[in-house]
Amino acid sequence: MVDTPDTPDTPTPASARPAEADRTDRPVYVIGGGPGGLSVAYALRARGIRAVVLERSDRVGSSWRRHYDRLRLHTTRRLSALPGLPMPRRFGRWVARDDVVRYLEKYAEHHRLEIVTGVEVSRVERTPDGTGWLLHATGGRELTGAAVVVATGYNHTPRLPDWPGRDTYDGEFLHASEYRNAKPFAGRDVLVVGVGNTGAEIAVDLVEGGASRVRLAVRTPPHIVRRSTAGWPAQYSGVLVRRLPVGLVDRLCRVQAKVAMPDLSAHGLPLPDAGLYTRVRQGAVPVQDVGLIDAVRKGAVEVVATVEGFEEGEVVLAGGDRIRPDAIVAATGYDRGLEGLVGALGVLDDRGRPVVHGGRAPKQAPGLYFTGFTNPISGNLRELALDAERIARAVTRTTPSPSRLPA
């Protein structure tokens, strides 16, 4: 059930409800209507607890709708489904962006989730009596919940480095979040900055879409893995090794890379010094190859040094080289954007990430949970599904008197 802010089911401001009723009729509020928020809402509902999803856009899955057109999951259909509803076989093994969106819409409908759209939560704090959580939301709303789950997403706020002189560049400049397809760049010289999965795929998309020249600016060479080898998805290996010691996984992956992957050192992509799992723990997942290796070996994608700044309309690369592309796509990542929401609670680390996630709540903030802020080697959607069950169990066990669904 998807509601707009003006429907009768819109959460009532705390100030408009009797104080006594607040303590016995408080739902669990889930902030964010993406896969993490929807799966938690289902898991809570399955335990008879009322969960209200607050989504700032007008539809569920808004971040997925904004991804570039060619995107497909790097995780398998079977291991990407959320609890309580398999993904249809017709989606294929590697599910396309539009099918992910269809699945999220169907998921909300199938489980009859209570979703309020057009409501953005700006701040979360403890209620004055310390028995629940107070959410400050759009239009001056103050919503009181028994517990809160923050599921606003890993890719929340586009991040752009503070490059000196960027205002002198007169070509087209956009963050990867604004990139849809290669059509506007046909016949043009394009620089892609950043070699995560997004940057790598956009570079390949530009080549296939007819860009006259594609360069890829790389600061730290990534680990590159095949999405699937002889029918065995890389995700399966990630699931198997996730609990093994980091050093052991690093050694296994290095041996595998030497056997299965071509040496791209001459093309500017040497094997990184740090091991694959070490890099994952630092927040850098490996790049799954969907055409980058061949494009680099053929010279269709030229690897260049990282961007240091801009001068007189030119891009200054590390080492001093200068180039003047027609357009720049900055695949420079995202920030979690949690500081304004929960920063005052002391629940974030020095990089703005939650100190705990899943079924654990911070010691100083019992009843506050986070999901979707890690990027595990075993697959993000799989982890979201597991987190949903953990959070639902924790809420059931530790939250006093959450609002219950009618029998």
Taking residues 126-151, report their average pLDDT: 95
**pLDDT in the model for residue 304:** 98
277 shares its domain with 394:
no
* Chain Cα centroid distance, residue 47: 27
Predicted TM-score (pTM) of this structure: 0.90
Instruction: Domain of residue 71: give its range.
Output: 2-156+336-398
User: Is residue 7 scored above 80 in pLDDT?
Assistant: no
User: Helix (H, G, I), strand (E, B), or coil: what is residue 270?
Assistant: coil
Taking residues 195-215, report their average pLDDT: 97
Residue 21: pLDDT band with limits 50, 70, 90: very low
The per-residue pLDDT for range 66-91, each reduced to its tens digit, is 999 999 999 999 999 999 999 999 99
144 shares its domain with 12:
yes
Residue 403 lies in a domain: no
**pLDDT in the model for residue 25:** 83
* Chain Cα centroid distance, residue 203: 20
Residue 236: pLDDT band with limits 50, 70, 90: very high
Work out the percent of the chain whose per-residue pLDDT is above 70: 94
Q: What is the CATH number of the domain that holds 385?
A: 3.50.50.60
**pLDDT in the model for residue 27:** 97
Q: Are β-strands 368-370 and 147-150 bridged in parallel, bridged antiparallel, or unpaired?
A: parallel
Residue 407 lies in a domain: no
Residue 360 lies in a domain: yes
Residue 283: pLDDT band with limits 50, 70, 90: confident
User: Helix (H, G, I), strand (E, B), or coil: what is residue 40?
Assistant: helix
Number of domains in the chain: 2
Residue 24: pLDDT band with limits 50, 70, 90: low
Taking residues 171-191, report their average pLDDT: 97
Give dist(CA 41, CA 50) in Å, integer: 8
**pLDDT in the model for residue 12:** 45
147 DSSP β-pair partners? 28
184 shares its domain with 323:
yes
Taking residues 359-386, report their average pLDDT: 94
User: Is residue 13 scored above 50 in pLDDT?
Assistant: no
User: Is residue 20 scored above 50 in pLDDT?
Assistant: no
129 shares its domain with 162:
no
The conformation of residue 242, written as its DSSP 8-state character, comes to T
167 shares its domain with 141:
no
**pLDDT in the model for residue 330:** 98
Within 13 Å and on the Cβ side, how many CA atoms surround 391?
38
* Chain Cα centroid distance, residue 252: 27
The conformation of residue 231, written as its DSSP 8-state character, comes to T
User: Is residue 388 scored above 60 in pLDDT?
Assistant: yes
The per-residue pLDDT for range 105-127, each reduced to its tens digit, is 999 999 999 999 999 999 999 99
171 shares its domain with 252:
yes
67 shares its domain with 17:
yes
**pLDDT in the model for residue 23:** 60
Mean pLDDT of the chain: 92
171 shares its domain with 312:
yes
